[in-house]
Amino acid sequence: MEEIWHKHKWPEDVAKTIDYPKKPLFEMLDTTATKDGELPFTVYDGQSWTFNEVKTDADRIANFLTSKGIGKGDKVAVFLPNVPHYPSVFFGVLKTGATVVTCNPSYRSNELNFQLQDSGASVVFVFDHPKITPTCYEAVKNTDVNMVIVCSIKRYLPKIKAIIGGLAKKIPKSPYYEEDITYFYDDIVEKYEAKAPQVDIDSEDLALILYTGGTTGTPKGASLKHSNLYSNVLQIYEWVNLSPEDIDAPQKIVYGKEVFVGALPWYHSYGLTLTMLMSTKYACQLVCIPDPRAGDPPLSELLRDLEKYKGTVLNCVPALYAGIVNHPNVDKYDLSSIKICSSGAAPLPPELAKSFEDVTGAILFEGYGLSETSPVTHINPTNKRNRKFGSIGLPVPDTIARIVDIETGTKILGVGETGEIAIHGPQVMEGYWNKPEETDNVMRNIDGLRFFLTGDIGHMDEEGYFVISDRKKDMVNVGGLKAYPREIEDIFYEHPKIAMAAAIGVPREDDPSNEFVKAFIVLKEGVTATPEEFIEWARDKMAGYKRPREVELVDELPLSQVGKVLRRELRRMELEKRNV
């Protein structure tokens, strides 16, 4: 169906609809290994492993799990950072017909316990670590978990490092192992034959349960099928078409040639799909970055690896791009290999994008998506001529987006009208795991199609570009007028002294149902300023109701593991401070 976005700036080399193979997700690894198995795949600490080697380990893991009775209907949790084990574990689990449950390795035991209980996981793969492993043992209590598989980084270190590190006790290791439930990754891949089970796995089977706070803040598992994730990889590949006018680089992602830098966690849909799955499908190197903020100053190790491995594809969040731009030694690193950069998970301030491009020479474009949509639904055209800063871009192939009324989510609004963004497409989840009521709350039938209500507020312009005002839950009610934190933050990023900014609504003491805007600002290194300076500066930049009544200078902002500013946490701390 011809949509508004197809009629104006739709990229001429991008198909409006594409074919999707009805194959399970692990077919990506198997096909690449069969075709180009000796190409390097995972890269860590100067070592690399081929697609054949990763597939062999995945087959061994699948064989082991099947021998223990794991198969269709079972759930296997992955409690790992971005280490070389991850692809083998992920695809190995899928080869049994079981479902992967990805878990944030920084979680405390109660948070992990909730996910294990809710998903019904019976197996956990965990990183061998002084804190992470004991956290896992505590979390599996009162759950269905009967196997904990410990993954040591020692296997993936250069031999001399492994020996010296072991002697010096510098290799991360758990202080104890619970013998009755513990197995070791190294033992499994050494003892079990590389023979994956023959299981009838359909593309519509459940591949992944990915937990998200969603619009209510209550953790919910987005149920993603093999077809959801596979479709999204193909949609993204189809969309990326660089322009010779912008950058001296191949137009498309080049099969077998790119170096994807794993700066974002693979337990999150953004890092999983755009980095791990994309590199698997297109036979590219995958640099494992367990902690992108590591180093002194922070992010130094990420910059080192970008230079060392000549990274070409970098998917990040604005906080990481800001960290790179503002790194005191960034000019000492050769970042000229970087060419394709996407930004998502949080708003991308236009000034930050321009600064990053000045530093690297790459092209940076903003996209949009959610855990519930595998994740990508919109991307800006990947050329400077047609991208629109401040917008999330156009819907990707085979994706329909609508602006609907906030109250019911059923009435379609017109161009320029503000409402909730609703999405239909092959990448949209089946629903929330074991939560039919929550699923019904976010799904709507509109013109005979099934749409997902995103919880994001925005509008579509006359050329079909979508612009997000903010999250539904983050809107600030200022005397009946709606102020959007994202818009306020974008304006503050124009100020030359500001490294990061966040805005929240604070209830008025005399009328708690009414709010005012408060901004939190992190200054760039080496500069000084006063709160009053920014309040005064905002007078000429924002309407009165949007202007912060208070500004607080802070050393840092609370961030999620993927770099989203946690406005909810800022608001909680502010209300506690005010005894509200």
- In this structure, the number of other CB atoms found within 10 A of the CB of residue 497 comes to 15
Q: What tens-digit pLDDT sequence spans the chain (580 residues)?
A: 899 999 999 999 999 999 999 999 999 999 999 999 999 999 999 999 999 999 999 999 999 999 999 999 999 999 999 999 999 999 999 999 999 999 989 888 988 999 999 999 999 999 999 999 999 999 999 999 999 999 999 999 887 676 666 656 689 999 999 999 999 999 999 999 999 999 999 999 999 999 986 444 467 999 999 999 999 999 999 999 999 999 999 999 999 999 999 999 999 999 999 999 999 999 999 999 999 999 999 999 999 999 999 999 999 988 899 899 999 999 999 999 999 999 987 778 888 899 999 999 999 999 999 999 999 999 999 999 999 998 999 999 999 999 999 889 999 999 999 999 999 999 999 999 999 999 999 999 999 999 999 989 899 999 999 998 877 677 787 866 667 788 788 889 889 999 999 999 998 887 676 789 999 999 999 999 999 999 999 988 887 888 999 999 999 999 876 777 888 889 889 999 988 7
φ, ψ (nearest 5 deg) of residue 576: -65, -45
The neighbouring-strand residues paired with 574 are: none
Of 263, 150, 270, the closest CA to residue 210 belongs to: 270
Task: Give the β-pairing of 206-212 and 99-102.
Answer: parallel
Q: Rounded distance, CA 179 to CA 190, Å?
A: 19
**Strand intervals (E) in 324-399:** 340-343, 363-369, 376-379, 394-395
* Helix residue ranges per DSSP H, 361-481: 436-442
Omega before 297 within 30 of 0, i.e. cis: yes
Closest Cα to residue 297, out of 326, 317, 321, 336? 326
Token couple for 316: 């990040």
Write the CATH number of the domain with boundaries 48-201. 3.40.50.980
Superfamily of domain 478-577 in the CATH hierarchy: ANL, C-terminal domain (3.30.300.30)
For residue 124, the SS3 value is strand
In angstroms, the Cα distances linking 520 to 349, 441, 503 are 16, 33, 6
Distance CA 166, CA 48 (A): 21
Percent with pLDDT over 70 in the chain: 95
pLDDT tens per residue, range 315-363:
998 889 989 999 999 999 999 999 999 998 777 888 889 999 999 999 9
Q: Please tell me the pTM assigned to this model.
A: 0.85
The per-residue b/e assignment along 529-561, b for 16 or more CB within 10 angstroms, e otherwise, is beeeebeebbeeebeeebbbeebeeeeebbbbb
Q: For the chain, give every domain's residue range.
A: 48-201, 478-577
